Amino acid sequence: MKVGIRDGMLPVSFEESFQKAKEIGFDGVEICMGVDYREHLLWQAGGIDKVNSLVEASGIEVSSLSPGGFTAYSFMHPTDSTRTEGIAKLQYLAETCPQLGAKVILVPFFGNGKIEDEHINARRFIDGLKEAAETAEKHDVFLAIESTLSAAQHQQIIDNVGSSAVGVYYDMGNATGFGYDSPSEIRSLGSAITQMHIKDTGGNHAGEGDVDFPAVFDAAHAVGYDSWFVLETPGKDDPVASAAKNLDFVRKNF
């Protein structure tokens, strides 16, 4: 088990985030991109090499890529050119992942890009995910869905797509906040869980909100989960101290 943190959770620039994460004690960093993703270093000439130099200098890893801005380009977007751009974005990241030593791309569906019940079986949605998944398969990379859906609905999407490259990025804080039983969902999804965020409810430090972490961790052990736990936790008044506290919680309790 390795523990990482999203670069946006640290009070430093992207270029400084790897070294700061290393100083706190993390094993890796999840690289995050917003709506203006082309401004990110990964889309700049020589950017991948620059990121790798930051990784090498820090001595930690890239746990995953998180294109948060994908919600503005999702598979159900009514404008074909925007939808196509979203698919191309995921395909580019699938090609980029191996160059960074990473295997997981978080594919978020929130806000205007959330997955509605009727989307689960919609051809436009499934075909878009299939197209992106074909590229991910070629590069041995996973597209990990994070959304407001239940475990059963996520499993239905995975079954509809039929690709070994599609899984779930499970966030027990979100799931608990949505009213789902996180431990039961983890046991139900099993190997379909590609990666997990660590988050509690209400903006609390891990273990201080409503998430039943003992049961969550028991369930993770039961299904043989051995991938990354990536902190997506609020920084409070002292983001570095909060990150260290949450990291310590995971290491002591998992």
Whether 189 and 224 have beta carbons less than 8 Å apart is answered as no
pLDDT at 235: 85
Alpha helices, DSSP H, located in the chain: 14-24, 47-58, 80-100, 123-138, 151-161, 172-177, 182-189, 213-222, 239-253
The Cα-based distances of 58 to 3, 23, 63, 194, 215 in angstroms read 15, 9, 14, 25, 34
pLDDT at 237: 87
Q: Which amino acid is at 235?
A: G
Strand pairing category for 193-198 and 228-231: parallel
Q: Environment class of residue 211 by beta-carbon count within 10 Å: exposed (0-12), middle (13-18) or buried (19+)?
A: buried
Residues 6+ positions from 111 with CB-CB distance below 8 Å? 71
User: What token pair was written down for 83?
Assistant: 């939808």
Whether 91 and 80 have beta carbons less than 8 Å apart is answered as no
pLDDT at 61: 98
pLDDT at 236: 84
Q: Environment class of residue 197 by beta-carbon count within 10 Å: exposed (0-12), middle (13-18) or buried (19+)?
A: buried
pLDDT at 234: 85
Q: What is residue 227's three-state secondary structure? A: coil
Q: What DSSP character marks residue 37?
A: G
pLDDT at 119: 97
Whether 120 and 154 have beta carbons less than 8 Å apart is answered as no
- H or E stretch at 169: strand 166-171
Q: Which amino acid is at 152?
A: A
CATH class for the region spanning 2-253: alpha beta
- Taking the chain (254 residues) in runs of 10, the rounded mean pLDDT of each run is 96 97 98 95 97 98 97 96 98 98 98 96 98 98 98 98 98 98 98 98 96 98 98 91 97 97
